[in-house]
Amino acid sequence: MQKLGFTDYEAKIYIQLLRMHPVTAYELSKVTGVPRANAYHALESLTRKEAVQPVSEDPVRFVPVPPQVLLEGIASSTQRRCDLLTSQLNSLSKSEDSQYVWTISGEPAVDERIKQVVLSAKESIWIKAQDQVLRRHEEVLRSMAHSGVEIFIILFGEDADEFRYSDNVKIYLHEGNGKTIGTADNLFTITVDHEQLLTANVQGKVFASYTRNQPIVTTAESLIRHDYYMAEIMLRYGDEIYESFGPHLKSLREARFTPEQLERFYHQLGLD
């Protein structure tokens, strides 16, 4: 509770009120060990914060506001303050810093930023990702698909139908089979409205890069677009391509993979 702006005494008083109520400040002081003067002060503060309510007089007894009601109120007021502050701070910015690339660290922060990026879409969302990562964002993606946003996905996985939330979703298995081959295939990449890009490392230490830099966004979309071309080509000419270059384009990858990438590639194909 201290992370939500409550003092140690206020937290002790509120938690004890959940266990026993209605009670007086004197009774709370005795049970919690909070000095009487501090108990009165904490109750006054909790009343202002709408966390407790007095329900009688002479003596005054208090009851707690139910946790769900309290926390929903805190969340709502915090969101209003954040929205107002965002508007005020944005008004101070001279221009949009579209040339910068921001780094987001940690899985919770990366997942939240992905959600924000998805929700900001007005027309289109392009994604290249593994199925297990997409599942974490299924709810918000499904919502955007049903709202009319076009979603285009290059999928690492086996079941493309799992992510066809509506007719607005076009999905293709990577290279026609959805198999993860290189280290870059462990990235989650998303562009929104051809204006924003977020790409995240989702294996091991989770972190992401976000930008509105147009050349970088265009480059990412070009890579996704060429993955789409490759998926369609493999579906039609896969047998001939495999005959010429080996399974999973083995000879082509051997020509351009680093030694570390080749070691991983051979391991995945059972050739090590």
Give pLDDT tens digits for 134-188.
Answer: 999 999 999 999 999 999 999 999 899 999 999 999 999 998 888 877 666 568 9
Q: What is the CATH number of the domain that holds 129?
A: 3.30.870.10
Confidence of residue 193 (pLDDT cuts 50, 70, 90): very high
Beta-carbon count within 10 A of 260 CB: 9
In total, how many domains does the chain have? 2
Residues 50 and 168 in one domain: no
pLDDT of res. 215: 93
Q: Give a yes or no: residue 17 inside a domain.
A: yes
Residues 39 and 121 in one domain: no
Between CA 168 and CA 190 the distance in angstroms is 16
Burial of 25 (0-12, 13-18, 19+ CB in 10 A): buried
Confidence of residue 94 (pLDDT cuts 50, 70, 90): low
Residues 265 and 224 in one domain: yes
Question: Which carries the bigger pLDDT value, residue 89 or residue 95?
Answer: 89
Which of 68, 86, 112 delimits the end of a domain? 68
| DSSP designation for 24 | -
Residue 95 pLDDT > 60, yes or no?
no
**Which of 86-100, 130-144, 165-179, 242-256 has the weakest average pLDDT?**
86-100
In the sheet with 124-130, reading across from the earlier edge strand, the strands are 101-105, 207-211, 196-201, 187-192, 124-130, 150-156, 169-173
Alpha helices in 91-200 (DSSP H): 107-119, 131-136, 138-146
Residues 133 and 195 in one domain: yes
Would you state the torsion angle of the CA atoms of residues 77, 79, 85, 88, taken in this order, to the nearest 10 degrees? -110
Say which amino acid occupies 131.
Answer: D
pLDDT of res. 76: 86
Q: What is the CATH number of the domain that holds 45?
A: 1.10.10.10
Residues 106 and 229 in one domain: yes
First to last CA, the chain: 53
Which of 11, 44, 68 delimits the end of a domain? 68
Task: Dump strand ranges (E) for 99-251.
Answer: 101-105, 124-130, 150-156, 169-173, 187-192, 196-201, 207-211
Q: Give a yes or no: residue 84 inside a domain.
A: no
pLDDT of res. 134: 92
Q: Give a yes or no: residue 112 inside a domain.
A: yes
Residues 56 and 159 in one domain: no
Which of 48, 68, 88 delimits the end of a domain? 68
Residue 96 pLDDT > 60, yes or no?
no
pLDDT of res. 186: 67
Q: Give a yes or no: residue 242 inside a domain.
A: yes
Transcribe 43-108 into DSSP letters.
HHHHHHTTSEEE--SSS--EEEPPHHHHHHHHHHHHHHHHHHHHHHHHTT-SS--TT-EEEEESHH
Residues 62 and 177 in one domain: no
pLDDT of res. 22: 86
Q: Give a yes or no: residue 206 inside a domain.
A: yes
Q: Give a yes or no: residue 94 inside a domain.
A: no
Q: Give a yes or no: residue 85 inside a domain.
A: no
Residues 195 and 64 in one domain: no
Q: Give a yes or no: residue 77 inside a domain.
A: no
Residues 39 and 112 in one domain: no
**Which of 36-45, 137-146, 207-216 has the weakest average pLDDT?**
36-45
Residues 17 and 134 in one domain: no
Residues 194 and 60 in one domain: no
Q: Pick from 147, 109, 153: which is nearest to 135 by CA?
A: 153
Residue 12 CB partners (closer than 8 Å, separation 6+): 32, 33, 34, 42
Number of Cα atoms under 13 Å in the Cβ half of residue 84: 6
Q: Are 193 and 117 in contact (CB under 8 A)?
A: no
Residue 199 pLDDT > 90, yes or no?
yes
The model carries a pTM of 0.66
**Which of 22-31, 94-103, 160-169, 195-204 has the weakest average pLDDT?**
94-103
Residues 30 and 119 in one domain: no
Q: Pick from 229, 227, 110: which is nearest to 179 by CA?
A: 227
Q: Pick from 176, 181, 188: which is nearest to 127 by CA?
A: 188
Containing structural domain, residue 45:
2-68
